[in-house]
Amino acid sequence: MPHRVKKNRLGRRIWQHRVLYLMFLPCAVYFILFSYIPMGGLLLAFKNFSFRKGILGSDWVGLLYFRTFFTSYDAPRLLRNTLTIGFMKTVIEFPFPIVLALMLNELNSRRYKQISQTISYLPHFMSSVIVITIVQRILAPNVGVINQFKALLGGDGGTYYLMESRYFLPILFLLDIWKNIGWDSIIYLAAISGVDAQLYEAAQIDGCTRARTMWHITLPGIRSTVGVLFIIGVGGLLSSGFEQIYLLRTPGNMEVADTLDTFVVRAGMLNGQFGYATSIGLIQGLVGMLLVLGANRLSRRLTEVSIW
């Protein structure tokens, strides 16, 4: 009887909020089709895959692929590059959208604020192929804008920046910031708009400057949003992204540009080592999950901000 009562109550709540559940339905279908069902393919990490036998019929190999990866010559380099780029994107780039959101929030002119937001959002909607092509033209030796400017000042205009490993990380950093900072700042602007306006009025009466108001009211008001997004972002520490890095790679910068994401595609799609590539992807997923769990627990203990 209690079970039936709970079931009826659940049914009534679903019917009461049916519009919200209907809006949520496409999201649920998307994750079921593209996130949960494909998890069945993780069996490849433990099998010697054969097209003739299929995934279920292929022979088991146990942890062979995992041992092969961690004892391979490429493992230290791939892990170092992935962690370096992951740390750059997860930690170093993290404050930039917050700063942009704070700056946009301080603008008095509504029209100028809208124009600034639109300009900062636009790069996010540009294809990575187009963006990298533009970057390649700008950095091209002799004919690129940067090299032409250097030559105009009497310097060497024949530098091929993408062929030198020391330039790869700065280029990737600036490119990633330019492409994503505007889009990532949207959620912080939404959080700022939810801060109680009476707090700003009280601060103004007390004579607080705009900088002190930002530091003592705005930032504490969005602390929970910042904490949750950082916890989620930590899960991508071992996933440096694929498109930009793959398109920016050249024989000259391969030493620092070859990551786990590019290696997985190369091993799986180009070399046909599906089990080996799946095992590396599984390692990335498990490490990401453990990082999120650990960061969430640590954040809850130290700052009382957590996802659950």
Q: Which of 45, 81, 41, 124 is nearest to 261 (CA)?
A: 81
Tens of pLDDT along 145-158?
998 988 888 888 88
User: The tokens 């498990």 sit on which residue?
Assistant: 286
Q: Which of 188, 197, 199 is nearest to 222 (CA)?
A: 188
Please report the pLDDT score of residue 6 as a whole number: 61
Q: Vertex 228, ends 226 and 229: CA angle to 5°? A: 65
Residue 41 located in a structural domain: no
Residue 207: how many CA atoms within 13 Å on its side-chain side?
A: 0
- Strands 47-48, 59-60: pairing is antiparallel
**Contact indicator for 302, 292 with CB cutoff of 8 Å:** no
Q: Give percent above pLDDT 90 in the chain.
A: 26
Residue 8 located in a structural domain: no
Residue 200 located in a structural domain: yes
DSSP state of 93: S
Q: How far apart are CA 204 and CA 44, in angstroms?
A: 62
Q: How far apart are CA 228 and CA 222, in angstroms?
A: 10
Tens of pLDDT along 251-275?
888 899 999 999 998 888 888 889 9
Please give the structure tokens belonging to residue 139.
């950095």
**Contact indicator for 143, 63 with CB cutoff of 8 Å:** no
CATH number of domain containing 112: 1.10.3720.10
Strand, helix or coil at 59?
strand
Please report the pLDDT score of residue 235 as a whole number: 84
Residue 32 located in a structural domain: no
DSSP 170-233: HHHHHHHHHHHHHHHHHHHHHHHHTS-HHHHHHHHHTT--HHHHIIIIIHHHTHHHHHHHHHHH
Residue 96 located in a structural domain: yes
pLDDT over 70 (residue 2): no
Query: pTM (2 decimals)?
Result: 0.86
- How many structural domains is the chain composed of? 1
Tens of pLDDT along 84-136?
999 999 889 999 999 999 998 888 888 888 888 889 988 998 888 998 999 99
**Contact indicator for 187, 229 with CB cutoff of 8 Å:** yes
**Contact indicator for 181, 100 with CB cutoff of 8 Å:** yes
Tens of pLDDT along 175-212?
999 999 999 999 999 899 888 888 888 888 888 888 88
- The set of residues, in sequence order, having a beta carbon less than 8 Å from that of 71 and lying 6+ positions away, is none
Residue 263 located in a structural domain: yes
Q: What residues make up the domain containing 162?
A: 48-302
Residue 36 located in a structural domain: no
pLDDT band at 3 (very low <50, low <70, confident <90, very high): low
Q: Vertex 122, ends 118 and 128: CA angle to 5°? A: 170
Q: Give percent above pLDDT 70 in the chain.
A: 98
Residue 124 located in a structural domain: yes
